[in-house]
């Protein structure tokens, strides 16, 4: 969501005549878009702001701004705490970023804009991004009405509001006309898209499936309680919907799920998994897990391991619990010691990573379909993803180009990716080691970021 918000602000500023500058030192305006989901992400913002103090002292005309969830959470306090900061804006002020920055530049004012829009359930936010990568994110709603006790999102992104199906489909068509082949719809609790407007996510997926030229549809993030039968059954019946779903379970223990206010049990979660696999037997499931929630015992944690072992996820984002100011869980007490959190995280990772390694091995000597997302500068390697969201590095190019969907024969795998050759071109004789060095230096910045 932040990637999408950053792209949006960049487009708005470009339209005002601002140009992007790769070198921080040379920029007249430095805008930091931020995340406050865990304390660590906030600390990073504060330390970056500290590093920028010298630049501002050297050139007082330089404008330094903070947008996003840290801006929303800290508001005026951030402006007071960081004297060299000029502007703080929350997620709902994104569309005004151009005017706000101009005000600071022209009038030298220090500003805070961190109020939520309070209008009804529907909101409009047509896509303003000019470029169209092969795979694009598209935010279709904002906010969240669940108040999971650990989570800061409802406090920094406000209540749920949805864009209309028509507006979103217009965006999809525009992106496709410029070359996009895959869209990932974004929402914090995307299953309840359309709440209060009479529209549903399954309707949007059906409408997107009809868009000519669009090849792949994905959406994120689902909530296990709100993932309805209509959505589950679409995995077997909607041709462009990728066989992949991110379905966070957070914790395996019913006691902890209750304390988290997740509104489902382990049994219900596993039932949804069963229904998904019935609708689409090879669906790739990914998840989020929090270890060390207040009061989590070894026995509770073993329930998390049990779910991991049972479901066999294709990928998992696993986090140590981080208390967030203003959330209910921050007052629960009974904190799990850091060392225990670390040990549990390592054990959970070990289970998941060894499963993924085994799953990836099964791809060896098979042919997968890859949407080419990026190529290295010398056009010797390229990377992309399969419909199941597996990252694939390809070592020969032929007539493949960014945006094409091609068949790739997988010859090697590890825990993080598959590697192979485009079947439409002669195999090249590349050593994996040098290939990987090339990959690291040329792709790291250009590939679609992974979730979160
Ligand atoms: N709306 C999504 C994701 C929200 S944030 C959902 O409901 O799943 C992304 C992930 O960050 C969450 O799934 C959760 O695993 C993690 N997270 C959120 N708050 C956290 C906290 N206080 N400490 C550690 N991890 C957290
Ligand atoms: Fe946070 Fe997701 Fe729960 Fe909403 S549903 S409160 S975004 S974890």
Q: What is the DSSP letter of 265?
A: -
Instruction: Confirm or reject: Cβ of 2 under 6 Å from ligand 1.
Output: no
Q: Does 282 score more than 60 pLDDT?
A: yes
User: What is the C-alpha separation between 427 and 76, in angstroms, rounded?
Assistant: 59
Q: Does 148 score more than 80 pLDDT?
A: yes
Instruction: Answer yes or no: CATH 3.80.30.20 is held by domain 135-361.
Output: yes
Per-residue model confidence (pLDDT) at position 425:
87
**Residue 184: pLDDT band by 50, 70, 90 thresholds?**
very high
The partner residues of 34 in beta bridges, in order of sequence, read 68
**Percent over 90 (pLDDT), the chain:** 84
Q: Report the candidate in 41, 42, 16 with the shortest Cα–Cα distance to residue 28.
A: 16
Q: What is the DSSP letter of 342?
A: H
**Residue 123: pLDDT band by 50, 70, 90 thresholds?**
confident
User: E strands within 238-327?
Assistant: 244-246, 284-291, 315-320
- What average pLDDT does the segment 271-293 reach? 98
Distance separating the N- and C-terminal Cα atoms of the chain: 8
Going from N- to C-terminal start, the domains of the chain cover 2-113, 135-361, 367-422
**Percent over 70 (pLDDT), the chain:** 95
Tell me: the pLDDT tens digits for 234-261? 998 999 999 999 999 999 999 999 999 9
Instruction: Confirm or reject: Cβ of 328 under 6 Å from ligand 1.
Output: no
**Residue 440: pLDDT band by 50, 70, 90 thresholds?**
very low
Tokens at 313, concatenated: 């996820």
Q: Does 317 score more than 70 pLDDT?
A: yes
Specify the 3-state DSSP secondary structure of 65: strand
pTM for the full predicted model: 0.93
- What average pLDDT does the segment 354-367 reach? 97
Tell me: the pLDDT tens digits for 76-104? 999 999 999 999 999 999 999 999 999 99
Q: Does 429 score more than 90 pLDDT?
A: no
- Inter-residue contact 42 to 75 (CB < 8 Å): no
Q: Does 437 score more than 80 pLDDT?
A: no
Instruction: Answer yes or no: CATH 1.10.3720.10 is held by domain 2-113.
Output: no
Q: Does 55 score more than 50 pLDDT?
A: yes
Mean pLDDT of the chain: 92
Q: 273 vs 255, 301, 341, CA distance in Å?
A: 20, 20, 27
Per-residue model confidence (pLDDT) at position 452:
29
Per-residue model confidence (pLDDT) at position 446:
37
Q: 108 vs 62, 79, 375, CA distance in Å?
A: 10, 14, 43
Instruction: Confirm or reject: Cβ of 189 under 6 Å from ligand 2.
Output: yes
Cis peptide before 221 (omega within 30 of 0): yes
413: number of Cβ within 10 Å: 21
DSSP H helical ranges for 191-246: 201-209, 229-237
Per-residue model confidence (pLDDT) at position 432:
53
Q: Does 431 score more than 90 pLDDT?
A: no
Per-residue model confidence (pLDDT) at position 376:
85
User: What is the C-alpha separation between 197 and 209, in angstroms, rounded?
Assistant: 21
Q: Tell which wins on pLDDT, 351 or 435.
A: 351
- Inter-residue contact 416 to 391 (CB < 8 Å): yes
**Residue 441: pLDDT band by 50, 70, 90 thresholds?**
very low
Specify the 3-state DSSP secondary structure of 406: strand
Nearest atom, ligand 2, residue 152 CA: 1
- What average pLDDT does the segment 377-392 reach? 92
Instruction: Confirm or reject: Cβ of 191 under 6 Å from ligand 2.
Output: no
Q: Tell which wins on pLDDT, 52 or 119.
A: 52
Mutate to test the pocket of ligand 1, among 139, 248, 304, 335 (most ligand atoms within 8 A of CB): 248
Tell which CATH classification among 1.10.1840.10, 2.60.40.10, 2.40.50.140, 3.40.50.300 matches the domain 367-422. Answer: 2.40.50.140
- What average pLDDT does the segment 142-170 reach? 96
- Inter-residue contact 80 to 44 (CB < 8 Å): no
Per-residue model confidence (pLDDT) at position 424:
87
- Which amino acid residue places its CA nearest to atom 9 of ligand 1? 452
Q: Report the candidate in 348, 435, 355 with the shortest Cα–Cα distance to residue 392.
A: 435
What order of strands is seen across the sheet that includes strand 284-291? 244-246, 284-291, 315-320
Instruction: Confirm or reject: Cβ of 235 under 6 Å from ligand 1.
Output: no
Q: How many CA atoms lie within 13 A of 251 on its CB side?
A: 29
Instruction: Confirm or reject: Cβ of 264 under 6 Å from ligand 1.
Output: no
Backbone angles phi, psi at 380, to 5 degrees: -105, -30
Please name which ligand lies nearest the alpha carbon of 323: 1
Q: Does 266 score more than 50 pLDDT?
A: yes
- What average pLDDT does the segment 158-172 reach? 96
Per-residue model confidence (pLDDT) at position 50:
95
Q: Is 451 exposed, middle or buried (0-12, 13-18, 19+ CB in 10 A)?
A: middle
- Which amino acid residue places its CA nearest to atom 3 of ligand 2? 148
Mutate to test the pocket of ligand 1, among 139, 319, 325, 330 (most ligand atoms within 8 A of CB): 319
**Residue 182: pLDDT band by 50, 70, 90 thresholds?**
very high
Per-residue model confidence (pLDDT) at position 451:
32
Q: Residue 232 contacts by C-beta under 8 Å, 6 or more apart in sequence?
A: 272, 275, 276, 279
CA 101-31-376 angle, to 5 degrees, is 130
Nearest atom, ligand 1, residue 288 CA: 15
């Amino acid at each position: 969501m932040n990637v999408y918000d950053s792209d949006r602000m960049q487009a708005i500023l470009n339209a005002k005549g601002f140009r992007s500058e790769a070198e921080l030192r040379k920029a007249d305006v430095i805008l930091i878009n931020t995340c406050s989901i865990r304390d660590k992400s906030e600390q990073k913002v504060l330390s970056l702001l500290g590093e920028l103090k010298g630049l501002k002292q050297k050139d007082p005309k330089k404008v330094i701004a903070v947008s996003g969830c840290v801006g929303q959470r800290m508001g005026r306090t951030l402006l007071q705490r960081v004297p060299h900061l000029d502007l703080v804006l929350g997620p709902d002020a994104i569309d005004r970023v151009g005017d706000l920055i101009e005000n600071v530049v022209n009038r030298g004012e220090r500003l805070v804009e961190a109020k939520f829009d309070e209008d009804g359930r529907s909101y409009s936010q047509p896509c303003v991004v000019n470029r169209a990568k092969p795979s694009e994110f598209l935010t279709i709603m904002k906010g969240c009405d669940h108040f999971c006790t650990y989570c800061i999102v409802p406090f920094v992104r406000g209540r749920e509001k949805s864009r209309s199906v028509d507006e979103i489909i217009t965006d999809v068509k525009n992106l496709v006309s410029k070359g996009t082949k895959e869209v990932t719809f974004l929402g914090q609790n995307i299953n309840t898209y359309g709440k209060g407007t009479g529209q549903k996510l399954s309707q949007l997926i059906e409408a997107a499936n009809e868009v000519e030229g669009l090849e792949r549809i994905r959406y994120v993030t689902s909530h296990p309680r709100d993932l309805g039968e209509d959505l589950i059954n679409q995995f077997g019946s909607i041709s462009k919907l990728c066989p992949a779903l991110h379905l966070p379970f957070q914790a395996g223990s019913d006691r902890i799920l209750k304390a988290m206010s997740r509104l489902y049990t382990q049994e219900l979660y596993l039932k949804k998994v069963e229904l998904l696999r019935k609708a689409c037997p090879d669906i790739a499931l990914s998840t989020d897990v929090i270890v060390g929630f207040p009061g989590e015992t070894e026995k509770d944690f073993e329930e998390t391991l049990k779910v991991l072992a049972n479901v066999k996820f294709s990928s998992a984002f696993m986090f140590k619990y981080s208390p967030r100011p203003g959330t209910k869980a921050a007052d629960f007490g009974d904190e799990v010691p850091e060392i225990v959190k670390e040990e549990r995280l390592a054990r959970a990772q070990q289970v998941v990573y060894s499963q993924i390694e085994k799953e990836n091995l099964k791809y060896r000597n098979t042919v997968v379909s890859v949407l080419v997302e990026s190529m290295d500068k010398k056009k010797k390697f390229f990377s992309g993803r399969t419909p199941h969201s597996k990252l694939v590095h390809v070592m020969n190019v032929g007539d493949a180009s960014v945006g094409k969907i091609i068949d790739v024969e997988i010859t090697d795998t590890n825990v993080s990716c598959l590697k192979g050759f485009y079947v439409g071109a002669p195999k090249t004789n590349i050593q994996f080691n040098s290939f990987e060095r090339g990959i690291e230096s040329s792709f790291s910045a250009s590939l679609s970021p992974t979730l979160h």
